[in-house]
Amino acid sequence: MDLDFTPVLDSGWFLVGGLGLTLALSVLTIVCSLLLGGALGLVRCYGPGWLRWPIVFYIDSMRAVPVLVVLVWTYFALPIVTGFVLPPFWAALVALTAHISAYVAEIVRAGVTSIRPGQTRAALALGMSRWRTIRSIVLPQAVVRMLPAFGSILSIAIKDTAIAAVIAVPEYMNRSQTVAGQSFHPIEVFTVAMAVYFVILFPVTRVVDMVYVRLAHLGRS
């Protein structure tokens, strides 16, 4: 098996452009998912009862359906329903956010409910308002406990952007496919792709682990 990596190098800038889009999509997805998922999780824990079951239904539905299906439906079917066409990047952002925020909501719920009721009672006994209690006592501890799970969300978000290749988002996976198809050297192209993704993903979980180890004591009660 003789490998020829020159086609990869020749298309270097093309691929780097794709990588930039991968990172942009990842970051935006993560930010939006944290916001939406965080909101959903908090409303589920503290909000009015009638909002809970739609949120639970939404979360469970996103757990049941593959990311690929959500991506494809958002890009191809949603325009038919709304009459409004989303370009691939934004369709991917919407779909990925919708999917991942469900997991974030679950993490938030698990983190908040892991704080012993005694903590809340102690805060209320001191005279704090319910909202103040949540903000100053429950959430800080809960957030520390959620860190490892958030780390895996980061990893999942970056990996899922690769699936957006399927709806023609010109991110790194998609561009690798293009180069592979044109150069007839798929092995080299995909080997480089594997190295690139590994180099991005491996540190992400490590850094989160390290941050958690530093902060873990703040979440113990």
Partner 1 sequence: MTFDWSVVWRNAGALLQGVELTVLLAVTTMLISIPGGIVLALMRLSHVRALSAASAAFVELFRNLPLILVVYSAYYVMPVATGLNLSPLTTGIVALSLNVSAYNGETFRAGIASIRKGQTEAAYALGMGRWQTMKEIVLPQAVRRVLPVLASTWVSLFKDTSLVSVISVDELAYTSMRIRAQTFRVLEMLTAMAAIYWLLGYPQAKLVDWINRRYGVKE
Which of 33/161 has CB closer to partner 1? 161
Which of 13/184 has CB closer to partner 1? 184
Give the nearest distance from C-beta 136 to partner 1 in angstroms: 25
**Alpha carbon of residue 12 to chain centroid:** 27
Give the nearest distance from C-beta 25 to partner 1 in angstroms: 13
- Confirm if 172 and 193 have CB atoms less than 8 A apart: yes
Which residue ranges make up the site for partner 1 (CB under 8 A)?
1, 60-61, 63-70, 72-73, 76-77, 80-81, 155, 158-160, 162-163, 165-166, 173, 176-177, 180, 186-187, 190-191, 193-194, 197-198, 201-202, 205
**Letter for the amino acid at 101?**
S
- Confirm if 58 and 40 have CB atoms less than 8 A apart: yes
Which of 170/186 has CB closer to partner 1? 186
Which of 139/154 has CB closer to partner 1? 154
Can you tell me the distance from the alpha carbon of 120 to that of 219, in angstroms, rounded to the nearest whole number?
14
- Confirm if 59 and 40 have CB atoms less than 8 A apart: yes
Query: Helix H segments across 47-138?
Result: 49-64, 67-72, 78-82, 88-113, 117-125, 130-133
Choose among 155, 115, 152: nearest CA to 137: 115
Give the nearest distance from C-beta 153 to partner 1 in angstroms: 14
Residue with tokens 């925020």: 101
Which of 80/125 has CB closer to partner 1? 80
Give the nearest distance from C-beta 171 to partner 1 in angstroms: 11
Give the nearest distance from C-beta 118 to partner 1 in angstroms: 16
Which of 143/159 has CB closer to partner 1? 159
Give the nearest distance from C-beta 23 to partner 1 in angstroms: 14
Choose among 1, 72, 21: nearest CA to 178: 21
Can you tell me the distance from the alpha carbon of 177 to that of 190, in angstroms, rounded to the nearest whole number?
8
